[in-house]
Structure 1
Amino acid sequence: MFNYNFRWGQALNSLPQMLEGALVTMEIAILSMAVGIVVAIVLTVFRLSGRRLLAAVATTWVEIARNTPALFQIYMVHFGLGSFGIHLSPYLSLLIGITFNNAGYLAENFRGALKAIPDTQARAARSLGMSAGQAFGSVVMPQMLRISFLPMTNQMVWAILMTSLGAVVAMNTDLYGVTSELNARTFRTFEFFAMAAVIFYLITKVITLTARLLAARLFRY
Protein backbone atom coordinates (compact mmCIF):
# COMPACT_ATOMS: atom_id res chain seq x y z
CA MET A 1 0.00 0.00 0.00
CA PHE A 2 1.29 3.46 -0.93
CA ASN A 3 1.71 5.33 2.35
CA TYR A 4 4.90 7.31 1.78
CA ASN A 5 4.86 10.78 3.38
CA PHE A 6 6.68 13.34 1.29
CA ARG A 7 8.83 15.82 3.23
CA TRP A 8 10.01 18.33 0.68
CA GLY A 9 10.89 20.82 3.42
CA GLN A 10 14.04 18.92 4.37
CA ALA A 11 15.16 18.76 0.76
CA LEU A 12 14.43 22.43 0.13
CA ASN A 13 16.36 23.44 3.27
CA SER A 14 19.35 21.54 1.90
CA LEU A 15 19.13 23.20 -1.52
CA PRO A 16 22.09 25.57 -0.88
CA GLN A 17 24.35 22.57 -0.17
CA MET A 18 23.14 20.84 -3.31
CA LEU A 19 23.79 23.96 -5.38
CA GLU A 20 27.33 24.11 -4.00
CA GLY A 21 27.72 20.52 -5.16
CA ALA A 22 26.33 21.53 -8.55
CA LEU A 23 29.08 24.17 -8.83
CA VAL A 24 31.71 21.48 -8.22
CA THR A 25 30.01 19.33 -10.86
CA MET A 26 30.17 22.22 -13.33
CA GLU A 27 33.79 22.91 -12.45
CA ILE A 28 34.84 19.32 -13.15
CA ALA A 29 32.86 19.20 -16.39
CA ILE A 30 34.28 22.51 -17.68
CA LEU A 31 37.87 21.62 -16.78
CA SER A 32 37.54 18.16 -18.30
CA MET A 33 36.19 19.68 -21.52
CA ALA A 34 38.84 22.39 -21.72
CA VAL A 35 41.71 19.95 -21.23
CA GLY A 36 39.93 17.31 -23.31
CA ILE A 37 39.67 19.63 -26.32
CA VAL A 38 43.39 20.43 -26.17
CA VAL A 39 44.32 16.75 -25.82
CA ALA A 40 41.90 15.80 -28.61
CA ILE A 41 43.52 18.31 -30.97
CA VAL A 42 46.92 16.82 -30.14
CA LEU A 43 45.59 13.30 -30.74
CA THR A 44 44.14 14.43 -34.06
CA VAL A 45 47.49 15.88 -35.11
CA PHE A 46 49.17 12.64 -34.06
CA ARG A 47 46.80 10.62 -36.26
CA LEU A 48 47.54 12.89 -39.22
CA SER A 49 51.29 13.09 -38.61
CA GLY A 50 52.13 10.04 -40.71
CA ARG A 51 54.33 8.71 -37.90
CA ARG A 52 53.33 5.21 -36.87
CA LEU A 53 54.19 5.55 -33.19
CA LEU A 54 52.26 8.78 -32.71
CA ALA A 55 49.32 7.48 -34.74
CA ALA A 56 49.33 4.27 -32.68
CA VAL A 57 49.26 6.23 -29.41
CA ALA A 58 46.35 8.34 -30.61
CA THR A 59 44.41 5.38 -31.98
CA THR A 60 44.90 3.37 -28.78
CA TRP A 61 43.66 6.30 -26.67
CA VAL A 62 40.57 6.74 -28.82
CA GLU A 63 39.79 3.02 -28.92
CA ILE A 64 40.04 2.63 -25.13
CA ALA A 65 38.04 5.79 -24.42
CA ARG A 66 35.25 4.88 -26.84
CA ASN A 67 35.04 1.13 -26.25
CA THR A 68 35.31 0.75 -22.48
CA PRO A 69 32.88 2.07 -19.83
CA ALA A 70 33.61 5.51 -18.41
CA LEU A 71 33.14 3.94 -14.97
CA PHE A 72 36.02 1.55 -15.74
CA GLN A 73 38.24 4.44 -16.82
CA ILE A 74 37.63 6.42 -13.63
CA TYR A 75 38.07 3.30 -11.51
CA MET A 76 41.41 2.50 -13.16
CA VAL A 77 42.71 6.03 -12.65
CA HIS A 78 41.92 5.95 -8.94
CA PHE A 79 42.45 2.33 -7.92
CA GLY A 80 44.54 1.08 -10.82
CA LEU A 81 47.20 3.73 -10.39
CA GLY A 82 46.92 3.27 -6.64
CA SER A 83 48.20 -0.28 -7.11
CA PHE A 84 51.47 1.25 -8.36
CA GLY A 85 51.72 3.68 -5.45
CA ILE A 86 50.18 6.64 -7.30
CA HIS A 87 47.40 7.83 -5.03
CA LEU A 88 45.14 10.57 -6.35
CA SER A 89 42.31 12.40 -4.64
CA PRO A 90 38.76 11.50 -5.67
CA TYR A 91 38.43 14.94 -7.31
CA LEU A 92 41.57 14.49 -9.41
CA SER A 93 40.74 10.89 -10.29
CA LEU A 94 37.28 11.89 -11.49
CA LEU A 95 38.67 14.84 -13.45
CA ILE A 96 41.34 12.74 -15.17
CA GLY A 97 38.91 9.92 -15.93
CA ILE A 98 36.33 12.22 -17.53
CA THR A 99 39.06 14.13 -19.40
CA PHE A 100 40.40 10.86 -20.80
CA ASN A 101 36.93 9.93 -22.00
CA ASN A 102 36.22 13.38 -23.43
CA ALA A 103 39.49 13.48 -25.34
CA GLY A 104 38.81 10.14 -26.98
CA TYR A 105 35.34 11.06 -28.17
CA LEU A 106 36.33 14.58 -29.22
CA ALA A 107 39.33 13.30 -31.19
CA GLU A 108 37.00 11.07 -33.19
CA ASN A 109 34.61 14.00 -33.71
CA PHE A 110 37.49 16.13 -34.93
CA ARG A 111 38.59 13.39 -37.31
CA GLY A 112 35.12 13.28 -38.79
CA ALA A 113 35.03 17.06 -39.06
CA LEU A 114 38.35 17.08 -40.92
CA LYS A 115 36.91 14.71 -43.50
CA ALA A 116 34.20 17.30 -44.21
CA ILE A 117 36.79 19.98 -45.00
CA PRO A 118 37.98 19.95 -48.63
CA ASP A 119 41.70 19.32 -49.12
CA THR A 120 41.76 22.43 -51.29
CA GLN A 121 41.49 24.56 -48.13
CA ALA A 122 44.89 23.43 -46.87
CA ARG A 123 46.43 23.56 -50.36
CA ALA A 124 45.17 27.11 -50.87
CA ALA A 125 46.71 28.14 -47.55
CA ARG A 126 50.03 26.53 -48.51
CA SER A 127 49.95 28.34 -51.86
CA LEU A 128 49.80 31.61 -49.94
CA GLY A 129 53.10 30.77 -48.26
CA MET A 130 51.83 29.22 -45.02
CA SER A 131 53.63 26.28 -43.50
CA ALA A 132 51.73 23.04 -42.89
CA GLY A 133 51.38 23.97 -39.22
CA GLN A 134 50.15 27.46 -40.01
CA ALA A 135 47.65 26.14 -42.54
CA PHE A 136 46.27 23.70 -40.00
CA GLY A 137 46.15 26.20 -37.13
CA SER A 138 44.79 29.19 -39.05
CA VAL A 139 42.60 27.64 -41.75
CA VAL A 140 41.74 24.01 -41.06
CA MET A 141 41.38 23.96 -37.26
CA PRO A 142 38.86 26.85 -37.03
CA GLN A 143 36.64 25.05 -39.56
CA MET A 144 37.10 21.77 -37.70
CA LEU A 145 36.01 23.34 -34.42
CA ARG A 146 33.04 24.99 -36.11
CA ILE A 147 31.80 21.70 -37.56
CA SER A 148 32.37 19.98 -34.20
CA PHE A 149 30.66 22.67 -32.13
CA LEU A 150 27.34 20.90 -31.54
CA PRO A 151 28.97 17.47 -30.96
CA MET A 152 31.19 19.21 -28.39
CA THR A 153 28.03 20.49 -26.71
CA ASN A 154 26.73 16.93 -26.48
CA GLN A 155 30.04 15.85 -24.95
CA MET A 156 29.79 18.66 -22.39
CA VAL A 157 26.37 17.37 -21.37
CA TRP A 158 27.79 13.86 -21.12
CA ALA A 159 30.68 15.17 -18.99
CA ILE A 160 28.22 16.71 -16.52
CA LEU A 161 26.30 13.46 -16.24
CA MET A 162 29.53 11.46 -15.89
CA THR A 163 30.44 13.35 -12.72
CA SER A 164 27.91 11.18 -10.89
CA LEU A 165 30.32 8.27 -11.46
CA GLY A 166 32.56 9.90 -8.86
CA ALA A 167 30.61 7.82 -6.32
CA VAL A 168 32.83 4.86 -7.19
CA VAL A 169 35.92 6.75 -5.92
CA ALA A 170 34.16 8.25 -2.87
CA MET A 171 33.75 11.70 -4.39
CA ASN A 172 31.43 13.55 -2.01
CA THR A 173 31.64 17.24 -2.94
CA ASP A 174 29.87 17.15 -6.31
CA LEU A 175 26.10 17.24 -6.77
CA TYR A 176 25.66 13.47 -6.66
CA GLY A 177 28.03 13.09 -3.70
CA VAL A 178 26.33 15.82 -1.67
CA THR A 179 22.91 14.34 -2.46
CA SER A 180 24.05 10.88 -1.37
CA GLU A 181 25.34 12.18 1.96
CA LEU A 182 22.14 14.12 2.61
CA ASN A 183 20.14 11.01 1.82
CA ALA A 184 22.27 8.92 4.16
CA ARG A 185 21.53 11.35 7.00
CA THR A 186 17.80 11.76 6.40
CA PHE A 187 16.69 8.67 4.42
CA ARG A 188 14.55 10.95 2.22
CA THR A 189 15.72 9.24 -0.96
CA PHE A 190 12.96 10.29 -3.32
CA GLU A 191 12.96 13.96 -2.34
CA PHE A 192 16.72 14.48 -2.52
CA PHE A 193 17.39 12.53 -5.68
CA ALA A 194 14.35 14.03 -7.39
CA MET A 195 15.75 17.49 -6.67
CA ALA A 196 19.20 16.42 -7.85
CA ALA A 197 17.67 15.11 -11.07
CA VAL A 198 15.93 18.45 -11.62
CA ILE A 199 19.20 20.33 -11.07
CA PHE A 200 21.03 18.04 -13.51
CA TYR A 201 18.24 18.53 -16.03
CA LEU A 202 18.29 22.31 -15.71
CA ILE A 203 22.07 22.47 -16.08
CA THR A 204 22.08 20.36 -19.22
CA LYS A 205 19.14 22.25 -20.75
CA VAL A 206 20.82 25.60 -20.13
CA ILE A 207 24.00 24.35 -21.79
CA THR A 208 22.11 22.92 -24.77
CA LEU A 209 20.01 26.05 -25.33
CA THR A 210 23.02 28.35 -24.88
CA ALA A 211 24.99 26.33 -27.41
CA ARG A 212 22.16 26.54 -29.94
CA LEU A 213 21.92 30.29 -29.50
CA LEU A 214 25.68 30.68 -29.88
CA ALA A 215 25.70 28.47 -32.96
CA ALA A 216 22.90 30.49 -34.54
CA ARG A 217 24.76 33.72 -33.83
CA LEU A 218 28.33 32.66 -34.63
CA PHE A 219 27.68 30.39 -37.59
CA ARG A 220 25.06 32.31 -39.53
CA TYR A 221 27.10 32.26 -42.71
Structure 2
Amino acid sequence: MPAIGQFDLELFVRILPDLAYGALITLKFTTFSTLLGLVIGTVMGIFRIVRNFILNAIAIAYVEVIRGTPLLVQIMIVYYGLPAAGINLPPDIAGIIALGINSGAYIAEVIRAGILSVPKGQMEAARSLGMTYLQAMRYVVLPQAFRNILPALGNEFIALLKDSSLLSVIAIAELTRTGMQIYAVTFNAWTPLLGVAMFYLMMTLPLSKLVNYMQRRIGGEHVHT
Protein backbone atom coordinates (compact mmCIF):
# COMPACT_ATOMS: atom_id res chain seq x y z
CA MET A 1 0.00 0.00 0.00
CA PRO A 2 1.45 3.42 -0.91
CA ALA A 3 2.35 5.82 1.88
CA ILE A 4 -0.01 8.62 2.80
CA GLY A 5 0.71 11.67 0.67
CA GLN A 6 2.13 9.65 -2.21
CA PHE A 7 0.45 9.93 -5.60
CA ASP A 8 -0.26 6.46 -6.96
CA LEU A 9 -0.81 6.46 -10.72
CA GLU A 10 -2.10 2.88 -10.73
CA LEU A 11 -4.66 3.70 -8.05
CA PHE A 12 -5.58 6.89 -9.90
CA VAL A 13 -6.41 4.95 -13.06
CA ARG A 14 -8.46 2.44 -11.06
CA ILE A 15 -10.58 5.08 -9.33
CA LEU A 16 -11.27 7.20 -12.43
CA PRO A 17 -14.67 5.50 -13.11
CA ASP A 18 -15.76 6.10 -9.52
CA LEU A 19 -14.72 9.75 -9.66
CA ALA A 20 -16.43 10.18 -13.03
CA TYR A 21 -19.65 8.78 -11.59
CA GLY A 22 -19.33 11.13 -8.61
CA ALA A 23 -18.89 14.03 -11.05
CA LEU A 24 -22.11 13.02 -12.85
CA ILE A 25 -23.95 12.99 -9.51
CA THR A 26 -22.56 16.45 -8.78
CA LEU A 27 -23.77 17.74 -12.16
CA LYS A 28 -27.20 16.20 -11.56
CA PHE A 29 -27.66 17.87 -8.20
CA THR A 30 -26.33 21.19 -9.49
CA THR A 31 -28.67 21.17 -12.49
CA PHE A 32 -31.83 20.32 -10.56
CA SER A 33 -30.94 22.73 -7.75
CA THR A 34 -30.25 25.56 -10.20
CA LEU A 35 -33.60 24.98 -11.90
CA LEU A 36 -35.34 25.12 -8.52
CA GLY A 37 -33.33 28.20 -7.61
CA LEU A 38 -34.30 29.82 -10.90
CA VAL A 39 -37.99 29.35 -10.15
CA ILE A 40 -37.64 30.68 -6.60
CA GLY A 41 -35.30 33.46 -7.65
CA THR A 42 -37.58 34.65 -10.44
CA VAL A 43 -40.55 34.88 -8.07
CA MET A 44 -38.54 36.62 -5.37
CA GLY A 45 -36.85 38.91 -7.88
CA ILE A 46 -40.25 40.08 -9.10
CA PHE A 47 -41.41 40.48 -5.49
CA ARG A 48 -38.44 42.82 -4.95
CA ILE A 49 -39.62 45.29 -7.59
CA VAL A 50 -43.43 45.21 -7.34
CA ARG A 51 -45.13 48.01 -5.43
CA ASN A 52 -46.40 45.85 -2.62
CA PHE A 53 -44.95 46.22 0.87
CA ILE A 54 -45.77 42.67 1.97
CA LEU A 55 -44.24 41.03 -1.11
CA ASN A 56 -41.19 43.30 -0.84
CA ALA A 57 -40.75 42.37 2.81
CA ILE A 58 -41.05 38.64 2.09
CA ALA A 59 -38.44 38.81 -0.66
CA ILE A 60 -36.04 40.97 1.32
CA ALA A 61 -36.31 38.72 4.38
CA TYR A 62 -35.75 35.61 2.29
CA VAL A 63 -32.70 37.03 0.50
CA GLU A 64 -31.10 38.43 3.65
CA VAL A 65 -31.64 35.30 5.76
CA ILE A 66 -30.42 32.86 3.12
CA ARG A 67 -27.44 34.94 2.02
CA GLY A 68 -26.56 35.72 5.63
CA THR A 69 -26.33 32.11 6.82
CA PRO A 70 -23.91 29.35 5.76
CA LEU A 71 -25.07 26.88 3.15
CA LEU A 72 -23.79 24.03 5.33
CA VAL A 73 -26.17 25.07 8.12
CA GLN A 74 -29.06 25.31 5.64
CA ILE A 75 -28.38 21.79 4.39
CA MET A 76 -28.33 20.45 7.93
CA ILE A 77 -31.56 22.29 8.83
CA VAL A 78 -33.38 20.79 5.85
CA TYR A 79 -32.08 17.26 6.42
CA TYR A 80 -31.72 17.04 10.21
CA GLY A 81 -34.03 19.82 11.40
CA LEU A 82 -37.21 19.24 9.39
CA PRO A 83 -37.77 15.72 10.81
CA ALA A 84 -38.40 17.41 14.17
CA ALA A 85 -41.40 19.05 12.49
CA GLY A 86 -42.54 15.73 11.07
CA ILE A 87 -41.04 16.29 7.63
CA ASN A 88 -38.69 13.48 6.66
CA LEU A 89 -36.91 13.92 3.35
CA PRO A 90 -34.55 11.46 1.64
CA PRO A 91 -31.00 12.80 1.24
CA ASP A 92 -31.37 13.43 -2.51
CA ILE A 93 -34.51 15.54 -2.14
CA ALA A 94 -33.18 17.35 0.92
CA GLY A 95 -29.96 18.18 -0.92
CA ILE A 96 -31.74 19.57 -3.98
CA ILE A 97 -34.14 21.62 -1.85
CA ALA A 98 -31.35 23.05 0.31
CA LEU A 99 -29.17 23.98 -2.66
CA GLY A 100 -32.17 25.31 -4.58
CA ILE A 101 -33.30 27.55 -1.72
CA ASN A 102 -29.76 28.85 -1.31
CA SER A 103 -29.30 29.45 -5.02
CA GLY A 104 -32.69 31.15 -5.25
CA ALA A 105 -31.56 33.96 -2.94
CA TYR A 106 -28.63 34.83 -5.19
CA ILE A 107 -30.60 34.38 -8.38
CA ALA A 108 -33.32 36.69 -6.99
CA GLU A 109 -30.83 39.56 -6.93
CA VAL A 110 -29.64 38.68 -10.43
CA ILE A 111 -33.23 38.63 -11.71
CA ARG A 112 -34.01 41.94 -10.03
CA ALA A 113 -30.97 43.55 -11.63
CA GLY A 114 -31.92 42.04 -15.00
CA ILE A 115 -35.47 43.37 -14.83
CA LEU A 116 -34.25 46.84 -13.85
CA SER A 117 -31.84 46.77 -16.81
CA VAL A 118 -34.78 46.60 -19.24
CA PRO A 119 -35.92 50.11 -20.24
CA LYS A 120 -39.13 51.15 -18.47
CA GLY A 121 -40.60 52.01 -21.86
CA GLN A 122 -40.86 48.30 -22.63
CA MET A 123 -43.29 47.74 -19.77
CA GLU A 124 -45.22 50.90 -20.60
CA ALA A 125 -45.52 49.90 -24.25
CA ALA A 126 -46.77 46.43 -23.32
CA ARG A 127 -49.34 47.86 -20.91
CA SER A 128 -50.51 50.32 -23.55
CA LEU A 129 -51.25 47.33 -25.82
CA GLY A 130 -53.68 46.00 -23.24
CA MET A 131 -51.43 43.51 -21.46
CA THR A 132 -51.76 43.00 -17.73
CA TYR A 133 -48.74 43.55 -15.52
CA LEU A 134 -48.04 39.82 -15.33
CA GLN A 135 -48.46 39.37 -19.08
CA ALA A 136 -46.10 42.24 -19.80
CA MET A 137 -43.59 40.83 -17.34
CA ARG A 138 -43.82 37.32 -18.80
CA TYR A 139 -43.83 38.10 -22.53
CA VAL A 140 -41.87 41.36 -22.78
CA VAL A 141 -39.69 42.16 -19.77
CA LEU A 142 -38.47 38.77 -18.52
CA PRO A 143 -37.26 37.49 -21.93
CA GLN A 144 -35.09 40.58 -22.29
CA ALA A 145 -33.94 40.38 -18.68
CA PHE A 146 -32.94 36.72 -18.98
CA ARG A 147 -30.90 37.48 -22.07
CA ASN A 148 -28.98 40.15 -20.14
CA ILE A 149 -28.35 37.97 -17.09
CA LEU A 150 -27.29 34.72 -18.78
CA PRO A 151 -23.61 35.22 -17.84
CA ALA A 152 -24.55 35.89 -14.21
CA LEU A 153 -26.70 32.76 -14.15
CA GLY A 154 -23.77 30.83 -15.58
CA ASN A 155 -21.55 32.07 -12.75
CA GLU A 156 -24.18 31.04 -10.22
CA PHE A 157 -24.26 27.53 -11.73
CA ILE A 158 -20.47 27.29 -11.41
CA ALA A 159 -20.57 28.50 -7.80
CA LEU A 160 -23.30 26.01 -6.93
CA LEU A 161 -21.36 23.23 -8.65
CA LYS A 162 -18.51 23.78 -6.22
CA ASP A 163 -20.78 24.36 -3.22
CA SER A 164 -22.51 21.03 -3.88
CA SER A 165 -19.50 19.38 -2.24
CA LEU A 166 -21.16 20.26 1.08
CA LEU A 167 -23.81 17.63 0.37
CA SER A 168 -21.25 15.08 1.51
CA VAL A 169 -22.32 15.87 5.10
CA ILE A 170 -25.67 14.17 4.48
CA ALA A 171 -24.13 11.09 2.88
CA ILE A 172 -24.77 11.99 -0.75
CA ALA A 173 -22.14 10.28 -2.87
CA GLU A 174 -21.23 13.27 -5.01
CA LEU A 175 -17.69 13.88 -6.21
CA THR A 176 -16.11 15.06 -2.96
CA ARG A 177 -17.64 12.31 -0.83
CA THR A 178 -16.57 9.73 -3.40
CA GLY A 179 -13.00 10.94 -3.07
CA MET A 180 -13.17 10.78 0.73
CA GLN A 181 -14.61 7.28 0.61
CA ILE A 182 -11.69 6.17 -1.57
CA TYR A 183 -9.28 7.79 0.89
CA ALA A 184 -10.93 5.94 3.80
CA VAL A 185 -10.35 2.62 2.05
CA THR A 186 -6.89 3.20 0.60
CA PHE A 187 -5.40 5.53 3.25
CA ASN A 188 -4.00 7.54 0.35
CA ALA A 189 -5.23 11.12 0.40
CA TRP A 190 -3.27 12.65 -2.47
CA THR A 191 -4.46 10.36 -5.22
CA PRO A 192 -8.25 10.60 -4.82
CA LEU A 193 -8.30 14.25 -3.74
CA LEU A 194 -6.15 15.36 -6.66
CA GLY A 195 -8.53 13.37 -8.85
CA VAL A 196 -11.49 15.18 -7.28
CA ALA A 197 -9.83 18.54 -7.95
CA MET A 198 -9.12 17.51 -11.54
CA PHE A 199 -12.75 16.60 -12.18
CA TYR A 200 -13.98 19.89 -10.68
CA LEU A 201 -11.60 21.75 -13.00
CA MET A 202 -12.79 19.70 -15.97
CA MET A 203 -16.35 20.83 -15.21
CA THR A 204 -15.79 24.44 -14.23
CA LEU A 205 -13.16 25.58 -16.74
CA PRO A 206 -15.30 24.97 -19.87
CA LEU A 207 -18.28 26.59 -18.13
CA SER A 208 -16.15 29.61 -17.21
CA LYS A 209 -15.01 29.94 -20.82
CA LEU A 210 -18.65 29.79 -21.97
CA VAL A 211 -19.68 32.45 -19.45
CA ASN A 212 -16.83 34.74 -20.58
CA TYR A 213 -17.88 34.22 -24.20
CA MET A 214 -21.48 35.16 -23.38
CA GLN A 215 -20.32 38.25 -21.50
CA ARG A 216 -18.24 39.43 -24.45
CA ARG A 217 -21.03 38.69 -26.92
CA ILE A 218 -23.73 40.46 -24.93
CA GLY A 219 -21.38 43.33 -24.12
CA GLY A 220 -20.49 43.72 -27.80
CA GLU A 221 -24.12 43.71 -28.87
CA HIS A 222 -24.94 46.37 -26.29
CA VAL A 223 -22.12 48.54 -27.65
CA HIS A 224 -23.45 48.26 -31.20
CA THR A 225 -27.02 48.98 -30.15
TM-score, scaled to structure 2: 0.89
- Matched letter for residue 116 of structure 2: K
Question: Matches of 1:136 and 1:47 in 2, distance apart?
Answer: 14
Unaligned segments of structure 2, at least 5 residues: none
- 1:208 to partner: Cα distance: 1.8
CA distance in 1, matches of 2:4, 2:191: 15
Check whether the contact 2:6–2:190 (CA below 8 A) recurs between aligned residues: no
Aligned partners of 2:49 and 2:112 also within 8 Å = no
- Match in the other structure for 1:198: 198
Matched, 1:47 2:21: no
Gaps of 5+ in 1: none
Pairing 1:1-221 to 2, within 5 Å after superposition: 5-171=6-172, 173-213=173-213, 221=221
Q: CA deviation at 1:214?
A: 5.1
Name the amino acid aligned to 2:175. Answer: L
Following superposition, the deviation at residue 209 of structure 1 comes to 1.9
Q: Counterpart of 2:201 in structure 1: which amino acid?
A: Y
Greater Cα offset, 79-88 or 161-170: 79-88
Residues 176 and 121 of structure 1, relative CA distance in 2, 3 Å threshold: same
CA offset at residue 61 of structure 1? 1.3
Q: TM-score, normalised by structure 1?
A: 0.90
Structure 2: distance between partners of 1:20 and 1:91: 16
Cα deviations by residue, 1:26-68 (Å, 9 ceiling, x for unpaired): 0000111111111111112223333333322222211112111
| Higher alpha-carbon deviation: 211-220 or 200-209 | 211-220
My pick for the range that moved more, 40-49 or 138-147, is 40-49
Q: 1:81 to 1:129 in 2, by over 3 A?
A: same
SS of structure 2 residue aligned to 1:14: helix
Range with greater deviation from structure 2 (120-129 or 21-30): 120-129
User: For residues 158 and 81 of structure 1, what CA distance do their matches in structure 2 show?
Assistant: 26
Q: Distance in 2 between matches of 1:3 and 1:128?
A: 70
- Could you report, residue by residue, the CA deviation over 1:138-173 in whole angstroms, capped at 9, with x for unpaired residues? 1110121122111111110111111110122222x2
- Judge conservation of contact 2:4–2:189 (CA < 8 Å) in 1: no
Count of aligned pairs between the two proteins? 219
Calculate percent identity across the aligned residue pairs: 30
Q: Cα RMSD (Å) of the superposition?
A: 2.1
Q: Alignment partner of 1:188: what SS?
A: coil
**Distance in 2 between the 1:87 and 1:132 partners?**
39
The verdict on how the C-alpha distance between 1:215 and 1:83 changes in structure 2, with shifts beyond 3 A counting, is same
Q: Which whole-Å CA distance do the structure 1 matches of 2:102 and 2:80 have between them? A: 17
